[in-house]
Structure 1
Amino acid sequence: MSASASSRRPRLIALAAAVAAVAATGAPAVTAVSAVAAPAAPATAQVKPVPASAGHAMLLSAAAPLSTSDCQAKYQHDCYGPTQYQAAYDTAPLYNQGIDGSGRTIVIVDAFGSPTIQHDLEVFDKQYGLADTQVQVQKWGSVPAFDPKNKDMTSWAGETTLDVEYAHAMAPGAKIVLVETGVSETEGTQGFPEMMDAIKDVAAKGTGDIVSLSLGATEDTFAEQAKKAGDYHLLNNLRYGLKAANDKDITVLSASGDAGATDKMLDGKTSYTKREVGWPASDPLVTGVGGTRLYLDDQGNRLSPDEVWNDGDGSAAGGGLSRVFNRPAFQNGVSGVTGNHRAVPDISLSASPAGGAWIYSSYDPAHTGWDIIGGTSQATPMFAGIVALADQAAGHRLGNINAALYQLAESQSDDNPHGIVDVTSGDNSTSKVTGFSATEGFDMASGWGTVDGYQFVKSLAGRDDL
C-alpha cells in the first residue's frame, strides 16, 4: 500500500501456468449513477493514493472459479469463495436470524471505479447463490471516461471489483454505495483531497454507516512531499473527512498495507529501509485492518490456525508504529507493546493471495472472467461487511469501534468470549526490514488477531440474545 505523486501504475502479477479461459459476458446492467459536484482541491494537494490490492492479482481469466482442492491440484495454490469465508468467519448463525446487513449502508471509495461493476456483481452473486443488490454509484467531481488501456484505471477497477464483491459477500443484505473519484494520471495531480471531500459529503448527507478504504500512502511520503523530515502537516491537513465521519458516528476502516513492516517511498518504486506504516489506517479515527493467511478446505473449515500474512516475496501484512499519531486512549491497555505511539493494525482478516479470493470482472474486454486476488484490501471490505451486521444487530451506527474493540479483546475469557480470535504465528518482516511477530494478545503483526463473526457481532452490538 504505497503512494506516489507521479504517475505510478501498480503492477499485476500473473500466476504461472494460468489458463486464459475467457468467459463470455453479456452487456453490463445499468447501474444507478448520481453525479455529485465536488469543490476544487486545496492548493496544497497531497500524496496520491494507490489501491492496496496493487500487485496482488493472480490473473487467470478463468471461465468459472475452481474449488480449493482443484486449485491445489492444478496450480499448487489455494483459492476461496464467499461461502468458504462465511463459514470460516462463522456468519451463518447471524444470517439465519435475519442479520445480513439489511438497513445498513457500506460506502466504498475508489478512484475511477469500474464501468461493469453491477453486471460483474450479478455474475458473482449467481455463481455463489447470493442475493443481488443494486450498487449505487456516485461520481465525485469530474471522473474521466474509463479506458481499459489505462493501467492506473484498470488497477482501480480491480480494486473496486474486490471491494464491492466481498463487502456484499459478508453482508449480503447491506446497501452498497460506490463513490468514484477522478484521480488523473497527470504528474503532480493528487487524489486524497477528492476522497476526503467525498467522505465529508457522505457524512453531511448521512448516506452511509461504514466507509471502507482499501488504499493508503506511507506516512513518511507526506514528509517527503513537504521536503522536510518529520513534517506531516500535509497529512494532518487531510483529516477533515475522517473527522466529519467520526462526528456522525460513521465507522471508517482502512487497509493496513501490503508491504509488511515497511512500504514504498514517494517514487512508488523504492522501499524504505526502515519500519513504516500507512495512513489513513494509522489514524486513531480509523480502524486499521491487517492481513492473515487462511488454510481452508472446500467447505470453509479451517485446516490449521490462521497466520500473519507473509508470502515471502515482499508481500505481507502491514503493521507497526505511527510516526504521526501518539498512542490513543483505546490503546492504553497495550502500552507495553505500543509505547507512546499509535500502533496498527487493530484487527486482521484474510489477505494472502496464496489463499486468495475469487472475483469476477469484465471491465477489460481483453481480460474477462474469474481471477484470484488478495491483499489487505480484501480484508477491509470483508470486515466492513461484519461491522454492517453488527450495526444492524445493534439497531444503530456503532461509529468508531476502536474503543469497543479493545475493550472486548481485553475483557474476554473462555467463560466470556467476545469473538476475538488470537493469531499467534507468523510475522511481517519483508524487504530486508525486520518487522513484528505474532504473539499472544495484541501485536503489530495482526493487531488483536481475527474474529469469529457470530460471537464478535453479538458482543459488539450488545446482543447476547442472538
Structure 2
Amino acid sequence: MQRREIPSGSLVIHRPRARRQGRRIAAALTAMLTLTGTALAIGLAASAQAAALSSAPHASASTGRTDFGCAHPAQAGQARCFGVLKDHRTASGRMSPFTTGSPTTAGYMPSDLRSAYHLGGTSGSGRTVAIVDAMDDPNAESDLAAYRRAYGLPSCTTANGCFHKVNQRGQASPLPSGDYGWAEEISLDLDMVSATCPGCHILLVEAGSTDVADLMKAEDTAASTSGVVSVSNSWGGSEDNTITSFDSHFKHSGVAITASSGDSGYGVSWPASSPYVTAVGGTSLSKASNSRGWTETAWSGAGSGCSAYEAKPSWQHDSGCAKRTVADVSAVADPNTGVAVYDTYNNCGGGMLCDTELQLGLSQGADGWVEVGGTSVSSPIIASVYALAGNTSQVVNGSYPYSHTSALNDVTSGSNGSCGGTYLCTAKPGYDGPTGLGTPDGTGAF
C-alpha cells in the first residue's frame, strides 16, 4: 500500500484511506494489548479478523515455525515454496519483530557460509545461476542491491548485465502478479546465490502461477538460457502418478538442477524425487571449536524418504528404498540457525506499525532484515556451489556427488521423524535421507 502525503494545513482528507488506516491501526493495537493480557473494549468484526489471519503465513502447531505463506498447503497440480521464518516468539510467548534492522544480527552472513563450506578462493565469475520461482517480486532488484551492499559484495544489476528478471517465456514483460510470500522466497534465493557465489550472474525466471505447467515452462526457459550452468528450485509438492510425465523438464545436459527436499520432516516431495535433479536436504549449522570451525546435524524439518513413483537411479545403491531416495546432499536449512535475508515487499507500507502488523499476522510480507531457514536456503546454496566448481558440462543428473564423497562433510547425527531409526530419517555415517551424502567441503563434489 502506498502512502499519500497530505500538505501541512490542508483540509483535504482522503476519507476512505483514512478509515482503512484507522481500522488497521485499531486491529494492531487490539492484538498487541490482547497478547500482553490487557483487556481492550474495541470491537473488531470477526469476519475482518478472520480474513486478515487467513492471509497470514502458515504457523506450525508443533514448532511455531512460520513459513512464507506460498500456497500452503499446495493443492494438486500446484507447488509451494520451502522458506521458513525463524520462530520469533520469546520465552514468555510474546512476539518479537520479524525484522531486525541489522545485517549483522539477522542470521548467517556470506562470510559465514563461505567459511562453513570452505568456499574461500573460489569464483564463479561469468557463470550464471538461474532461480525458478512463481509470481513476481517487484522489489527483487532493489532488495538484492541492499543485501549485496550491506556485505560489500560486487554490484549485480540489470544495468551492468549481472542480474536479469524474466517471465516464464524469457521475456522482460509482462511479469506475473506480485505475491508477498513468493517475494520472500525470491529474496532468499537471490541472496543465497549472492552469498555463496558473489561473482556469479543471476537469472530470475518467474512463473506466471504456482501451477506445475507454468513452472515447467519457467524451468525450460532457465535451463536453455545462454550462460546458465545451474538452476535452483526451492519449491515442490506432494508426489502423485503424474510426476514422471514432467521429469523431462529437468533433464538438461550440462546444467546442474537442484531441488529442495521439503520442510515437513520425513516424507518425500517432488521435484526433489526426480532422478534428474540433485535433491538437497537440510542441516542445523553451528559454530564450533573443532578444526572445521563448524558442526552440523540433520535438521528436523528436512524432507527425506522413498519415492512412490520415481525409479531407482543406477547411481543410488542404498538398500532401504526400491525406488528413488531423497536427499542427495544438503546444506544449512534450520531457521534457528538461519541466514540473513533482505526483503521489503509488503502490504503495510514500512515503518514501526508495519513491523507490528507483520509480527501479529495482520499484514503480509517483510520489512527489511529477516532470519530464515527451510530447504529453500540449501537448494540455491548447492546450485551456487555447482557454479563455483565450473564442472557442469559433466552433469546430466544428480549422480556426480556420489563418486566424489571425499569432498563432503559427513553429517552423522540428528533426525527428521520416525522411520524405525533407519537411515531414511536418521543421520548416520555415510549416506542418509535427511542430509544425503553430506554438505560441501569445498567444490570437489560438484
Per the normalisation by structure 1, the TM-score is 0.68
Superposed displacement of residue 400, structure 1: 3.1
Superposed displacement of residue 302, structure 1: 6.0
1:194-233 correspondence to structure 2 within 5 Å: 194-206=214-226, 208-219=228-239, 222=240, 232=241
Which of 74, 77, 83 is matched with 1:47 structurally? 77
Whole-angstrom CA distance in 2 between matches of 1:385 and 1:405: 15
Structure 1 counterpart of 2:101, one-letter code: A
| Corresponding residue for residue 293 of structure 1 | 284
Structure 2 vs 1, CA of residues 171 and 304 (structure 1 numbering), >3 Å: closer, same or farther? closer
Structure 2 vs 1, CA of residues 352 and 204 (structure 1 numbering), >3 Å: closer, same or farther? closer
Secondary structure in structure 1 of the residue aligned to 2:142: helix
Structure 2 vs 1, CA of residues 136 and 289 (structure 1 numbering), >3 Å: closer, same or farther? same
Name structure 1 gaps, 5 residues minimum: 1-6, 17-44, 72-78, 95-99, 147-152, 184-189, 223-231, 262-275, 311-315, 410-417, 461-466
Which of 83, 87, 91 is matched with 2:115 structurally? 87
Whole-angstrom CA distance in 2 between matches of 1:124 and 1:93: 21
Identity of matched residues, %: 31
Structure 2 vs 1, CA of residues 432 and 362 (structure 1 numbering), >3 Å: closer, same or farther? farther
Secondary structure in structure 2 of the residue aligned to 1:378: helix
Q: Check conservation: 1:46, 1:235, Cα contact below 8 A.
A: no
| Corresponding residue for residue 24 of structure 1 | none
- 2:302 aligned with 1:306, yes or no? no
Which of 165, 169, 183 is matched with 1:137 structurally? 165
| Corresponding residue for residue 438 of structure 2 | 449
Superposed displacement of residue 433, structure 1: 11
Q: Check conservation: 1:82, 1:170, Cα contact below 8 A.
A: yes
CA RMSD of aligned residues (A): 3.0
| Corresponding residue for residue 112 of structure 1 | 135
Superposed displacement of residue 205, structure 1: 4.3
Whole-angstrom CA distance in 1 between matches of 2:244 and 2:397: 21
| Corresponding residue for residue 98 of structure 2 | 60
Structure 1 counterpart of 2:260, one-letter code: A
Structure 2 counterpart of 1:306, one-letter code: E
Superposed displacement of residue 235, structure 1: 1.6
Structure 2 vs 1, CA of residues 113 and 83 (structure 1 numbering), >3 Å: closer, same or farther? farther
1:25-424 correspondence to structure 2 within 5 Å: 47-54=77-84, 60-67=98-105, 79-94=107-122, 100-134=123-157, 135-140=163-168, 143-146=175-178, 153-183=179-209, 191-206=211-226, 208-219=228-239, 222=240, 232=241, 234-243=242-251, 245=252, 248-261=253-266, 276-296=267-287, 305-310=295-300, 316-332=301-317, 334=318, 336=319, 338-364=320-346, 365-366=349-350, 367-391=366-390, 394=391, 397-400=393-396, 402-409=398-405, 418-424=406-412
Structure 2 counterpart of 1:250, one-letter code: V
| Corresponding residue for residue 39 of structure 2 | none
Whole-angstrom CA distance in 2 between matches of 1:55 and 1:354: 9
Name structure 2 gaps, 5 residues minimum: 1-53, 65-74, 89-96, 158-162, 351-365
Q: Check conservation: 1:419, 1:451, Cα contact below 8 A.
A: yes
Q: Check conservation: 1:277, 1:321, Cα contact below 8 A.
A: yes
Q: Check conservation: 2:85, 2:371, Cα contact below 8 A.
A: no
Secondary structure in structure 1 of the residue aligned to 2:306: strand
Superposed displacement of residue 54, structure 1: 4.8
Structure 2 counterpart of 1:242, one-letter code: F
Whole-angstrom CA distance in 2 between matches of 1:10 and 1:438: 30
Deviations 1:55-82 (A, max 9, x none): 6575522221344xxx8xxxxxxx3211
Deviations 1:6-39 (A, max 9, x none): x9975268x99xxxxxxxxxxxxxxxxxxxxxxx
Per the normalisation by structure 2, the TM-score is 0.71
Secondary structure in structure 1 of the residue aligned to 2:393: coil
Secondary structure in structure 2 of the residue aligned to 1:80: coil
Structure 2 vs 1, CA of residues 162 and 433 (structure 1 numbering), >3 Å: closer, same or farther? farther
Structure 2 vs 1, CA of residues 438 and 166 (structure 1 numbering), >3 Å: closer, same or farther? same
Whole-angstrom CA distance in 2 between matches of 1:204 and 1:214: 19
Structure 1 counterpart of 2:407, one-letter code: G
Superposed displacement of residue 458, structure 1: 3.8
Superposed displacement of residue 256, structure 1: 0.4
Q: Check conservation: 2:404, 2:444, Cα contact below 8 A.
A: no
Secondary structure in structure 2 of the residue aligned to 1:178: strand
Q: Check conservation: 1:255, 1:290, Cα contact below 8 A.
A: yes
Q: Check conservation: 1:51, 1:215, Cα contact below 8 A.
A: yes
